[in-house]
Chain A
Amino acid sequence: MAFKKNGLMSNKEVIKELLDCFQNEADTPLEFDEEAILLAYQKEDQKQSISIKILSIFGGILASIAFLGFLFISGLYSSDISLLVLGGVLIVTSIWLNKKSDRIVMDTFSVSAFIIGFILLGFGCLQFKVSDNILSIIFIIIAFASLNIVQNYILSFIAVLIINGSILTLIISNNLYNIIPIYIAAIGMMMTYLFLKEGKIITINKTLSKLYNPVKIGLIFSFLIGLIFLGKKGILPIDANYNWLSSIIIIPLIVYIITILFKVINVQNTSHKIGIYIFTILILLSTALSPAISGAFLIILLSFFVNYKTGFVIGIISFIYFIFQFYYDLNFTLLTKSIILFSTGLLFIVFYLFTYKKLKANENV
């Protein structure tokens, strides 16, 4: 698969070459602030490796778990006001530290402080008998504020997850389970917009260009968490009859992406287009009651479209899982399932042979 190699360049000549490259692609003369770019590269060259990001996050989570252990054994979780104060101080400290110096070295500490801060704040509020609704709204406000103040990758990613979790809590604690499919559809729309309008979003302002990557991965995870609620029966009492509310948005999104793809792949023959549309819509409609499958497919398509490797891998893994879950939960005898699976498989193989022939014919021309 043609994922391009990552890796940033550092020294002056390379950057010069790079800027020339940008100039070549543009039709009007461009202005660059070369000093600032060089400076940014010197700072940013620490930010390349996904291994380091994962290390920071896992380190932060482990440290938070150990801290929770401390909290429970010591019985401190029942002291109200000190929890609130400490929680607030930790959140503010982690945001402030990032604002002062956006060094990746500080990530583990600020991530831990951020997560522990939220946990303490949550416990503190519960001691004061603050309702779930108000607590969720407080969390959403704090997380939003942190996104506005600092755009550190990991902190922003966690802030997005906290916002998503709080919205889900709001929905669940008010027993509005059937809104979840609509909520998921809304995230799907936001995610698609974010992927397809990359150029537009990152040129609006500096803050958005920095938030782009963490919000993108944050939205993928939020979308997935929602899909798991729909894809695995029994986690939440969602009435499966409302699941199509997600599909009714996700399926058109996929069809829309395919329309764009026709331009990329250069499909011009109208009958081929109609054939592909019918095939896609038929297959997707058969999954209308389990939007998790089409949702995972949406992640795959979007990620491959913009060449986003992490999202692509997440999409493939969740796609396989949701298909498995779908057939596992299906209320048919194994024989009926077998017939459905087998004929779907044959359909794909026939479609493959058909497109293969067409491709061959094209190559020979």
Chain B
Amino acid sequence: MKNINREDIQIIVRHSSLTAQGIDRILKRKVYNDKDAWQKFFQIFIISLGVGFTVAGIVFFFAYNWDDLNKFTKIGLLQGLIIITTLIVLLPQIKDHVKNIILTGASVLVGVLFAVFGQIYQTGANAYDFFLAWTIFITLWVSVSNFSPLWLIYLFLINTTFILYSEQVAKDWSGIFICLVLFLFNAFVLISAVYLDKSKKLKWFLNILALASISYATIGIVIGIFDKYQHSFPILIFIAAITFGLGIWHGLKTKSVFYLSVIPFSLIIIVSALLIKISDSEMMFLLVSLFIIGSVTLTIKNLIGIQKKWTHEQ
């Protein structure tokens, strides 16, 4: 049986004698979510809310910094909680996705543990070493669970650690260099993930990563255009050029419109920045406006052409 989707129904309804009741029946059978999907959705939704709220409650409890609790009780409580949650994950009768959600909660608790440690010993709540410790100590869980939301938290922590380090310790690093490192790191993770993801189930995860990498590259290059010259600037341009090329190639190969639209859009922003760098007169702004319209239109025209080719190949 063919898969009917919403667009098919909308096109066909305009040229047929289908009635509202008929459409409703087809929508219910072919497009809308069925019983199984709803059950799965509710299970994941409710357990996520449960774990999420409970962990948030614990976070707030320790943020309250109760004076009557001595430091051993505080840290002991948290360690106990982490041990209990981790033990629950080891129970064989729990489903995998529930285990992953609980482990994600436990990973947040590790952060709370280090925050409380910082509270007691006055290391500061936003110190980079707090995030560094948090990152290091959940690494094992992240790799064992291989759960994409947890991976996302993990990558977010690494990015945060690095940005805080650059703000608190390596104050002489330039904006371009920071963007270069972040771009390299995220692009490296992205490329490895694309290579390893044989199941093709992680599209949203990969797209977020790609968006982050491309944003770092774009921001870095735009800073480079307006700032004074830095040695890392040509390196960034060189690596970005190679990576963007790879991205386009990957997009063409896997028929992913996402890469083929995000990368040109980044280039359009970069060229617009370059134009404004050349002159910031009123006419230039008018030109930039026209340039954006023209280049986006051209991109879309090409994309449509490529898509047509793809459909014919099928």
A interface residue numbers (CB < 8 A to B): 1-2, 4-10, 14, 17-19, 21-22, 25-26, 30-33, 36-37, 40-41, 44-49, 51-52, 54-56, 58-60, 62-64, 66-67, 69-70, 73-74, 104-109, 112, 198-200, 202-203, 206, 209-210, 212-213, 261, 264-266, 304-307, 327, 333-335, 337-349, 351-352, 355-356, 359
Contact = CB atoms under 8 A, between A and B. Distances in A.
Interface string B181-219: 000000000000000000000000000000000000000
A112 B22 CA distance: 39
Given A22-B12, A266-B35, A56 B300 contact: yes
A342 B81 CA distance: 13
Given A49-B257, A63-B293, A342-B57, A105 B5 contact: no
B15 A104 contact: no
Contacts of B172: none
B50 A62 contact: no
Interface string B206-243: 00000000000000000000000000000000000000
Task: Please provide the 8 A-B residue pairs with the shortest distance between their CB atoms, ordered closest to farther.
Answer: A342-B57, A345-B54, A345-B53, A59-B296, A348-B50, A199-B24, A341-B57, A199-B23
Interface of B: 1-27, 29-43, 46-47, 49-61, 63-64, 66, 257-258, 260-262, 265, 268-269, 272, 280-283, 285-286, 288-290, 292-293, 296-297, 299-301, 303-304, 307-308, 311-312
Contacts of A210: 10
Nearest to A21: B2
A29 B119 CA distance: 74
13 contacts: A8-B8, A19-B12, A25-B30, A48-B7, A63-B290, A67-B285, A73-B285, A108-B300, A198-B23, A265-B39, A306-B27, A327-B56, A337-B60
Contact of A345 (B15, B56, B258): B56
Given A8-B7, A59-B292, A2 B29 contact: no
Contacts of B21: 199
Contacts of A7: 5
A1 B44 CA distance: 10
Contacts of A209: 10, 13-14
A17 B20 CA distance: 21
Contacts of A48: 7, 307
Contact of A41 (B11, B24, B260, B308): B11
A52 B261 contact: yes
Contact of B13 (A31, A203, A261): A203
A52 B257 contact: yes
Contacts of B54: 341-342, 345-346, 349
Given A9-B2, A345-B49, 8 more contacts: A19-B12, A45-B308, A46-B304, A55-B299, A112-B292, A198-B27, A213-B6, A341-B53
Given A40-B15, A55-B299, A341-B57, A261 B38 contact: yes
Contacts of B58: 338, 342
Given A5-B3, A105-B304, A349 B14 contact: no
Q: Is the interface of B mostly helix, strand, loop or mixed?
A: helix
A90 to B, nearest CB: 12
Given A4-B3, A22-B26, A73-B282, A107 B18 contact: no
A2 B42 CA distance: 13
Contact of A305 (B32, B50, B290): B32
A336 to B, nearest CB: 9
B66 A109 contact: no
A1 B37 contact: yes
B17 A51 contact: no
A97 to B, nearest CB: 12
B296 A108 contact: yes
Contacts of B41: 1, 304
Nearest to A360: B93
Nearest to B23: A199
Nearest to A67: B289
Contacts of A54: 261
Contacts of A21: 1-2, 4
Contact of B289 (A66, A105, A198, A339): A66
B18 A264 contact: no
Contacts of A41: 11
B27 A265 contact: no
Contacts of A212: 10
A32 B16 contact: yes
B304 A17 contact: no
Nearest to B298: A105
Nearest to A36: B15
